[in-house]
Each structure stands twice: as C-alpha cells, then as structure tokens.
Amino acid sequence: MRIGELAERTQTSRRLLRYYEERGLIASGRNFNGWRSYDERNVDRVHQIRGLLDAGLPTRVIRQILPCLDEPGAIHVSDASPEIISALERERDRMTERIRSLVRNRDAVAAYLATVRDAHAA
C-alpha cells in the first residue's frame, strides 16, 4: 500500500510515518517509480508505535521493544537505563489494570445479557 493509504488506515500523518521510517520503526519497499510501498504488517506496527509513544517511551526505546513483539526472544538491553525500565514497568502495570477493568466490564455485560435473555425466555 502507498503511504497515503497507510496514513488513512492508521490515522497518522504521512510526515509522521516518514519520521517512523527514518527512526527505523517501520520499513517500506520502493515501487519501480520510487514511491514508498508498505505491507499490511505496518498497520499494526504503527498502532503499536503510537501506543508506546502515548505511554511516554522515546523512539530509541521503542525501536528496541518492537522486535520483541514479533520475536519474544529478540531483546536488546544495551540502552536500558533505570528511567526506561521504570517507564516500561509503569506502562506494563497500566496495561495490566486496563485488562482487569476490561475483564470486569465484559463479565458485567455477560451477566446482564444472561439475565435479560432469561427474563425474555420466561
């Protein structure tokens, strides 16, 4: 897909996508005419990058984390400062709490649906 389609599908500006590519966060191929060409995997990758940026992680750390999302054993620790480790721990804890909240909400909706279905079946 071309950069415009990737930008539209990820709600990310073309300029920001080019920046991600410059920082080594995403990769593109080139068409015969020199235009950038992105594969489907970049849609999820851009969403992952944006989530990690929203968590306050710098792009240099994100570049180290991204391979772990594809290959869990591919961990780079050369630049893991105490501040980065702390930021990652906070983000992990925030995600864990969000997951707990989503599970509680899902269970509440399921219980409500069961009650409503039982009431309509009677």
Regarding whether 73 and 90 lie in a shared domain, the answer is: no
pTM over 0.85: no
List the domain range (segments joined by +) for residue 64.
Answer: 1-79
**Gap between the Cα atoms of 118 and 79, Å rounded:** 57
Q: Are 88 and 79 in contact (CB under 8 A)?
A: no
Regarding whether 89 and 72 lie in a shared domain, the answer is: no
CATH number at residue 17: 1.10.1660.10
pLDDT one digit per residue (tens) for the chain, 122 residues:
999 999 999 999 999 999 999 999 999 998 889 888 999 999 999 999 998 888 778 888 888 888 777 765 555 556 667 877 887 888 789 888 988 998 999 999 999 999 999 998 87
43-53 pLDDT, tens digit per residue, is 999 999 998 88
Regarding whether 51 and 101 lie in a shared domain, the answer is: no
Regarding whether 90 and 55 lie in a shared domain, the answer is: no
How many structural domains is the chain composed of? Answer: 2
